[in-house]
Amino acid sequence: MNLLEIKNLKMDFGADAEALRAVDGVSLVIGAGETVCLVGESGCGKTVTALSIARLVPTPPANYVGGEILLNGQDVLKMSNGELRGIRGGVVSYVFQEPGASLNPVFRIGNQIRESLKLHKPEKATNEEVIRLLKLVGIPAPESRIKNYPFEMSGGMQQRVMIAMALASEPKLLVADEPTTALDVTIQAQILDLLSDLKRRLGMAILLITHNLGIVGDMADRVAVMYAGQIVELSPAKELLRRPLHPYTKALMASVPKLHGTADRLSAIPGNVPRIGNFPPGCRFAPRCPIARPECSEKIPELVEVEAGRFVRCPFWKNERENITAEAPRRGDK
Amino acid sequence: MWSYVFKRLLHMIPLLLGVSLLTFLLMSLAPGNYYTALLQNPQISPDTVARLKAQFHLDQPWYVQYFYWLKNVVRGDFGYSMAYHIPATSLIVGRLWNTFLLSFFALIIAWGVAIPLGIWAAVNKDSWIDRACSLFAFVGLSVPDVLLSLLALWFAAATGWFPVGGAQSPLYDFLPSAQQFWDRAHHLILPAIVLAASDLAGIMRRMRSCLLDTLRAEYVTAARARGLGEGWVVYKHALRNAINPLLTIFGYSLAALLSGAFIVENIMAWPGLGRLTMEAFFAKDSYLVVDCVVMATGLLVIGNFVADLLLAWSDPRIRLK
């Protein structure tokens, strides 16, 4: 049994006629101890997908219209509030983007970590355990730090506290939603190293949400690329980075700046991310796709396994006619 | 911390000096003084009036009067009420106590009703409860104190459930102490409710919007994500942050209550500082006016100071130096 199985998840914002589909048929499996990256531009639905794992998207305005989220074989969408509280923290823990905003500003960090312990490991809700956790995430002089308020710490230290808090309950799955986006680059590397190290030592699975493809290569076993509420490519990380199949993934890779190269400007994907509720008919990437054909706008293509373990939502993925490289169409070219 | 308290109290001195100086100046700009009216009385000789004026230094320019007043205040003597013929201090202490009682109970009523209602409205956002609270707040904000006071008086007169104005019944001094207490409370209820009503609506709306803001905060989602129950999330994590802006309002609310008390006291015949100030002002009982204004200012400054201390106590990010 897999740790997490998301099956054909569909989620709307709003109800009835005004409903906007934010997540449209997302299926994703995470095995115990596996690291999966969820990649995509802002607004593609990756955060709401991740929050759904513990049903954390408030309903209303959100509305789960279909699918299942099996965590340890139990459907999260059918759980009672009491059961939900048990899995939140107990099975799946979260680390969010802005550590400064995710810690409650008016409570000491020791108090906040102890709160998690009290909830999930009441016998361990002691200062010693808090200090052990802070040591685990590499906070120097934890004995004096437990008395600190969040605003007395740097962003990197705050994120370590968030991670310590997430680990307090010994979860099976750690969901890290862009955990390094708000931090500066040297701290980013430290936090990512910490996550890989903890994963190795504690054997938990990680779902890492990012829009930074650079992180994917270092961290992920598998990658899911999301676009406009759908997964467009799902693949082992190494193969995806070596040979992306979906035109969107290719374009994303092409827009990553290279350290060695001669391109004098960054290539960008032409056009904009379609707004939720305003998705184009058929393939949602078609209006921005360099290899789009007229039939692409007629029917949404299926996510098909084209090679062992590699899924692509594009019938023309084999089309090598236009190899999308750094010479991808520039912004403004239509 | 203590040095901060000391510093704030020191800051009060120049403020009170300025306020008293300004009051003296403004009083001197109005023509005449308390004894001007006596000159119209043929039975009192102009010599007598001149003597009385000289006794209170009213024949001197206003800044000289001010220094005489200040000299006495430093020695703890707040001057003499020309209209009441008693020392201003004894007059003010009683009235100040009445105003304090009225404002204090109005404060308790206003906050005691507004905070739970605001929380309730925020937690049940867009429900009929929330809409009803909004309507109630809208009416509360729209009805002026004057009208509300008059309505309350009419209500008291029509039903006979409450005394019409005043702070105690005529036979107060002859009542046993338990009944004296009840008598005071009975007189206090209606003015306190009227005074609270004007403030209540604003506090409730603010509580609602502050709590809604914090409920959207990321640390609230993070708290839920750790498996905390909804009650714990709202009342510990969200409310503890939502209350901070309200503590700032607490200082303003005190100011609003004091100025509201002026109107309510005058209409509902509550013998408080506001009413005394108005009476003294119309009688040109100048020292009493200045004393009243200084007292009201002091009350206000202390109220703001208390609000600042509360905020510093509640929000660890604020350090008092």
The CA distance from B48 to B69, in Å, is 22
Neighbours of B98 (CB within 10 A): 24
The answer to whether the CB atoms of B226 and A165 lie below 8 A apart is yes
Does B218 lie at the interface with A, CB-CB under 8 angstroms?
yes
Model pLDDT for residues A102-157, shown as the tens digit of each residue: 888 888 888 888 888 888 888 877 888 889 888 888 888 888 888 888 888 888 88
Task: Provide the pLDDT for residue B321.
Answer: 62
Put simply, the answer to whether A88 touches B227 (Cβ < 8 Å) is yes
Q: Determine the residue of chain B that is closest to A52 in CA distance.
A: B225
Residues with Cβ within 8 Å of residue B47, at least 6 apart in sequence = none
Question: Is residue B11 within 8 angstroms of chain A, CB to CB?
Answer: no
Sheet holding A62-71, edge to edge: A20-30, A4-13, A62-71, A74-75
The string of pLDDT tens digits covering residues A184-200 is 888 888 888 888 888 88
Q: How close is the nearest chain A Cα to the Cα of B138, in Å?
A: 27
Chain B CB contacts of A106 under 8 Å are 240-241, 244, 314-317
Backbone region of residue B51 per phi and psi (left: phi > 0; alpha: psi in -120 to 50; beta: other values) = alpha
Q: Please answer yes or no on whether B226 and A115 come within 8 Å at the CB atom.
A: yes
**ipTM more than 0.90?**
no
- Interface contact A88-B230, CB threshold 8 A: no
* Residue A145 to chain B, least CA–CA distance (Å): 15
Question: Measuring CA to CA, how many Å separate B116 from each of A230, B123, B152, B231, B244?
Answer: 43, 10, 24, 14, 15
Q: Which residue of A has its CA nearest to B221?
A: A56
Residue A16 clears pLDDT 50, i.e. is over it:
yes
Are A327 and A270 a contacting pair, CB within 8 Å?
no
User: Alpha-carbon distance A275 to A170, whole Å?
Assistant: 38
Which residue out of A102, A112, A113 would a mutagenesis test of the B interface target, given it has the greatest number of B Cβ atoms within 10 Å? A102
- Could you tell me which residue, B36 or A6, shows the higher pLDDT? A6
Q: Is A6 helix (H, G, I), strand (E, B) or coil?
A: strand
The answer on pLDDT for A265 being more than 80 is no
Strands A62-71 and A205-210: unpaired
Q: For residue B218, list chain A residues with Cβ-Cβ distance below 8 A.
A: 96, 98, 101-102
Cα distance from A55 to chain B (closest Cα, Å)?
Answer: 9
The CA distance from B225 to A92, in Å, is: 8
Q: How confident is the model at residue A77 (pLDDT cuts 50, 70, 90)?
A: confident
Contact partners, residue A42, CB within 8 Å, separation at least 6: A211, A273
Closest-approach residue (CA) in chain B for A89: B226
Taking 50 as the pLDDT cut, the residues of chain B under it are none
A22 confidence band (pLDDT: 50, 70, 90): confident
Q: How far apart are CA A17 and CA A36, in angstroms?
A: 35
Would the pLDDT of A177 be above 80?
Answer: yes
Closest-CA distance, A186 to chain B, in angstroms, reads: 25
Q: Which of A287-291, A316-320, B18-22, B41-45 has the lowest mean pLDDT?
A: A316-320
- CATH architecture of the domain with range B93-314: Orthogonal Bundle (1.10)
Q: How far is B229 from chain A (nearest CA, A)?
A: 7
For B316, name the nearest residue in chain A, comparing CA atoms only: A106
| Percentage of chain A lying above the pLDDT 90 cut | 2
Distance CA A49, CA A55 (A): 9
Question: Is the separation of the CB atoms in A259 and A250 below 8 Å?
Answer: no
Band (A320; pLDDT cuts 50, 70, 90): low
Contact call for residues B62 and B69 (beta carbons, < 8 A): no
pLDDT, residue A331, reads 43
Say which of A81, A104, A116 has its CB closest to residue B219. A104
Of the candidates A56, A93, A107, the beta carbon closest to that of B221 is on A56
Identify the pLDDT of residue B320. 66
* A89 closest CB neighbour out of B227, B240, B316: B227
If DSSP codes are grouped into helix, strand and coil, which group holds residue B81?
Answer: strand
Q: Is A90 on the interface with B (CB under 8 A)?
A: yes
Nearest to A45 by CA among A181, A227, A176: A227
CB B39 within 8 A of CB B46: yes
- The answer to whether A172 faces chain B, any CB pair under 8 Å, is no
Let me know how long chain A is. Answer: 334
Cross-chain residue pair A104–B228, CB shorter than 8 Å = no
Read off the pLDDT of residues B171-207 as tens digits, 9 standing for 90 and up: 777 777 788 888 888 888 888 888 888 788 888 888 9
Mutate to test the interface with A, among B219, B232, B240, B315 (most CBs of A within 10 A): B219
Q: How many CB atoms lie within 10 A of CB A73?
A: 9
Residue A131 corresponds to which tokens in the numbers above? Answer: 């200090």
**A102 and B228: CB-CB below 8 Å?**
no
Token pair of A11 as six digits: 């989620």
Query: Residue A100 — very low, low, confident or very high, per pLDDT cuts 50/70/90?
Result: confident
Cis check: omega of the bond before B170, within 30 degrees of 0: no
| Chain B residues touching residue A94 (CB < 8 angstroms) | 222, 225
Mean pLDDT confidence for A282-296 = 83
| Cβ–Cβ < 8 Å for A216, A210 | yes
The backbone torsions φ and ψ at residue B315, rounded to the nearest 5 degrees and listed phi first, read -110, 110
pLDDT at A262: 66
Residue in the block written with tokens 């040297």:
A186
DSSP H or E segment with residue B87: strand B86-87
Read off the pLDDT of each residue in A52-69 and give the average, rounded to a whole number: 84
Which residues of A fall within a CB distance of 8 Å from B227?
84-90, 116, 119-120, 169
Q: Where are the domains of chain A?
A: 107-169
- Assess whether pLDDT exceeds 50 at residue A327: no
CB B205 within 8 A of CB A87: no
Positions of CATH 1.10.3720.10 in chain B = 93-314
For A161-176, what is each residue's pLDDT tens digit? 888 888 888 888 989 8
Across the interface, whether the CB atoms of B221 and A107 are under 8 A apart is answered: no
SS3 per-residue string spanning chain A: CCCEEEEEEEEEECCHHHCEEEEEEEEEEECCCCEEEEECCCCCCHHHHHHHCCCCCCCCCEEEEEEEEEECCEEHHHCCHHHHHHHECCCEEEECCCHHHHCCCCCCHHHHHHHHHHHHCHHHCCHHHHHHHHHHCCCCCHHHHCCCCHHHCCHHHHHHHHHHHHHCCCCCEEEEECCCCCCCHHHHHHHHHHHHHHHHHHCCEEEEEECCHHHHHHHCCEEEEEECCEEEEEEEHHHHHHCCCCHHHHHHHHCCCCCCCCCCCCCCCCCCCCCCCCCCCCCCCHHHCCCCCHHHHCCCCCCEEEECCEEECCCCCCCCCCCCCCCCCCCCCC
